[in-house]
């Protein structure tokens, strides 16, 4: 969730660190700080934004080595003192840290009993004291860091510098990402490639338990028991320009607007018009293996989980395999029964979502076959799974997921088509779905032309204290994702329910002050959905209907009509106007659209 940047080379480190931290602002944070090494360690840190940090970094803040951090509070409230980096008492060691040290209280008590004085409430300061106590006698900074980390229980991505070893940075990972960037006579490290792509596209991902020593002329990586490991650099496709707003007011609007292109990229080269099937070579499964599974279990968190619900319905409808989706954060703690004939699918835009990664590792430990649907090439989940599908949606900067959500739903349609065609889906139905998938980018373009009308409706409903989102079967995951978007970017309370469940309790909430957004596709449940609208209107509730036809004014106050595709694929299109609705509601309310309060883009802690 937090951001780490490190640099060693011939250039002035501070501007590189500050620029890198700006690139990581989208991950969510409440404070920021930097340290550079030049005849001792110089540090500046503040509660607030990177711009606030830059304002207190003096012009003579020089050094060719340094580390920087954006913090999302876990231990201790946001403050200047709790901001990273943290220094040892003698100011020799500086540490930045992502993750949570679970035994921090125990370690802190032991250190205080030995005379250590702590300045902050953070778990991270424990690391600075531990490293400082062994560095004098250690052969290297890496050895001191390794010794300290052996005493730590929890997750970490760390970067450490030593005032007496000004030519190197040591980084380490366990459950929280660290990526190395390889430059010309300079080295970088970060928690996200976003901080690196301006300077290099050659990267190395550390595995859990690995440590790296960075010097200007290269790097070495080691396992936790000090054995050197071999790493092959990857070339990332993303460029610095992908992280710019591109003339849009917000990243969120840019990413919503990019969806015709991103969906086309997810589909590119994967549709077969001869056999009406999807080619997904990354699954690493032949037709016989694809036929052997009797159940599909999908895991993800937040919007990834809701896209998984859409995916489960697609797989059941097209491949006729029992399928369901579950939050990864719950799955890993309920001692799940891992069946050999179940295919598990893990979803994560970043590929680093800690709850999902931990669930994948538990599944692998128990012998489960796991596929991944991720956006970030080389990410931890992509490396852990047996095979999978890359989204190719490009960087998603805004905290609220839009294009990655849509591309994930499209990837599930491809997976469902693939599994269906190696089982019992007819060529005619395969052709129908292929044609429907090919139509999606153009239909999304059509929906985007509705933005002025959606903006008008968002302004009309934005002052509501709470909103209800409802849908049936295919429409229910759409309603859940719509409510999620509105909550996270506008802070308007929103609930999502199956439309059929309203009369079993939630109908008590309906009244003039509680508008309802109803997802009403033209499918076999149309009449039942219209009956639900009548029940809401009979109780004085206002209704905004999102569907495929104009609504009877007796049943809905307002209506958004979107293009019709195949009924299995309609949920993908029905989600798009809800993204724009949430965005414009947030703008109307003056919210920080791209960085909603209390949230982070990549959730790498529990």
Catalytic residue numbers, as ranges:
2, 601
CA 377, 233, 29: angle at the middle one, nearest 5? 55
Count CB-CB contacts under 10 A for residue 128: 29
Please say whether the beta carbons of 69 and 85 come within 8 A. yes
Count CB-CB contacts under 10 A for residue 121: 14
Please say whether the beta carbons of 189 and 205 come within 8 A. no
Between CA 95 and CA 109 the distance in angstroms is 20
Extract the runs of DSSP E, i.e. beta strands, from 193-283.
Answer: 202-205, 211-215, 218-222, 228-229, 234-235, 271-272, 277-278
**CB proximity list for 97: less than 8 A, separation 6 or greater:** 2, 69, 84, 86, 123, 124, 127, 156, 157, 158
Cis peptide preceding 89, ω within 30 of 0:
no
- Classify residue 396 by its DSSP letter: -
Extract the runs of DSSP E, i.e. beta strands, from 216-294.
Answer: 218-222, 228-229, 234-235, 271-272, 277-278
Please say whether the beta carbons of 355 and 606 come within 8 A. yes
498: its two tokens? 């199956």
Q: Which of 64, 73, 61 is nearest to 98 (CA)?
A: 73
Between CA 546 and CA 275 the distance in angstroms is 34
Please say whether the beta carbons of 546 and 562 come within 8 A. yes
Between CA 244 and CA 411 the distance in angstroms is 26
Count CB-CB contacts under 10 A for residue 437: 23
CA 253, 259, 264: angle at the middle one, nearest 5? 160
Between CA 500 and CA 347 the distance in angstroms is 28
- Give DSSP secondary structure letters for 552-568: PTTT-SEEEE-----TT
Please say whether the beta carbons of 5 and 17 come within 8 A. yes
Between CA 421 and CA 450 the distance in angstroms is 35
Determine the length of the chain.
Answer: 606
The number of angstroms, rounded, from the C-alpha of 433 to the middle of its chain's C-alpha atoms is 29
- Classify residue 125 by its DSSP letter: H
* Sheet with 387-390, edge to edge strand ranges: 323-327, 295-300, 342-348, 369-374, 387-390
CA 515, 518, 521: angle at the middle one, nearest 5? 165
């Amino acid at each position: 969730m937090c951001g780490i940047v490190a640099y060693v080379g011939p250039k002035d480190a501070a501007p590189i660190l500050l620029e890198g931290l700006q690139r990581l602002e989208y991950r969510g944070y409440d404070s920021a700080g930097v340290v550079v090494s030049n005849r001792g360690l110089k540090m500046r840190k503040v509660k607030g934004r990177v711009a606030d940090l830059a304002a207190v970094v003096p012009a003579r803040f020089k050094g060719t080595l340094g580390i920087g951090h954006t913090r999302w509070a876990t231990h201790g409230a946001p403050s200047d003192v709790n901001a990273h980096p943290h220094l040892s008492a003698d100011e020799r060691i500086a540490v930045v840290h992502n993750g949570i040290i679970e035994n921090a209280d125990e370690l802190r008590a032991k250190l205080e009993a030995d005379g250590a004085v702590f300045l902050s409430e953070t778990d991270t300061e424990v690391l600075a004291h531990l490293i400082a106590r062994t560095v004098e006698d250690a052969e290297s900074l890496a050895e001191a860091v390794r010794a300290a980390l052996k005493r730590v229980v929890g997750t970490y991505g760390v970067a450490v510098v030593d005032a007496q070893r000004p030519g190197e940075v040591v980084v380490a990972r366990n459950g929280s990402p660290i990526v190395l960037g390889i430059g010309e006579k300079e080295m970088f490290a970060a928690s996200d490639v976003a901080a690196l792509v301006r300077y290099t596209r050659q990267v190395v991902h550390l595995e859990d338990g690995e440590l790296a020593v960075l010097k200007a002329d290269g790097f070495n990586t080691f396992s936790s028991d000090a054995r050197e490991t071999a790493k092959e650099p990857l070339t990332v496709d993303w460029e610095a320009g992908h992280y710019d707003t591109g003339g849009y007011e917000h990243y969120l609007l840019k990413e919503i607007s990019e969806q015709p292109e991103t969906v086309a990229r997810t589909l590119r080269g994967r549709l077969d018009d001869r056999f009406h099937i999807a080619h997904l070579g990354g699954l690493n499964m032949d037709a016989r293996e694809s036929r052997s599974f009797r159940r599909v279990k999908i895991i993800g968190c937040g919007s990834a989980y809701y896209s998984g619900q859409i995916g489960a319905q697609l797989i059941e409808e097209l491949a006729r395999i029992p399928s369901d989706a579950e939050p990864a954060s719950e799955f890993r703690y309920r001692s799940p029964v891992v069946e050999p004939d179940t295919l598990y699918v893990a979803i994560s835009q970043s590929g680093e979502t800690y709850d999902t990664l931990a669930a994948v590792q538990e599944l692998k430990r128990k012998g489960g076959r796991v596929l991944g649907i991720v956006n970030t090439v080389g990410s931890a989940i992509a490396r852990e799974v047996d095979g999978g599908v890359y989204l190719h949606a490009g960087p998603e900067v805004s905290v609220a997921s839009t294009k990655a959500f849509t591309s994930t739903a499209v990837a599930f349609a491809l997976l469902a088509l693939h599994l269906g065609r190696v089982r019992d889906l007819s060529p005619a139905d395969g052709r129908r779905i292929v044609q429907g998938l090919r139509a999606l980018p153009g239909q999304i373009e059509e929906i985007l032309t509705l933005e002025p009308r959606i903006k008008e409706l968002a302004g009309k409903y934005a002052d509501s204290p709470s909103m209800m989102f409802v849908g049936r079967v295919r429409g229910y995951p759409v309603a859940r994702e719509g409510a999620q978007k509105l909550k996270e970017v506008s802070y308007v309370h929103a609930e999502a329910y199956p439309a059929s469940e309203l009369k079993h309790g939630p109908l008590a909430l309906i009244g003039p002050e509680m508008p309802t957004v109803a997802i009403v596709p033209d499918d076999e449940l149309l009449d039942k959905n219209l009956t639900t609208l009548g029940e809401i209107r009979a109780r004085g509730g206002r209704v905004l209907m999102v569907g495929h036809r104009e609504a009877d004014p007796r049943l809905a106050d307002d209506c958004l009509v979107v293009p019709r595709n195949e009924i299995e694929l309609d949920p993908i299109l029905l989600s798009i106007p809800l993204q724009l609705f949430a965005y414009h509601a947030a703008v109307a309310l003056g919210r920080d659209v791209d960085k909603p309060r209390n949230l982070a883009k990549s959730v790498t802690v529990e």
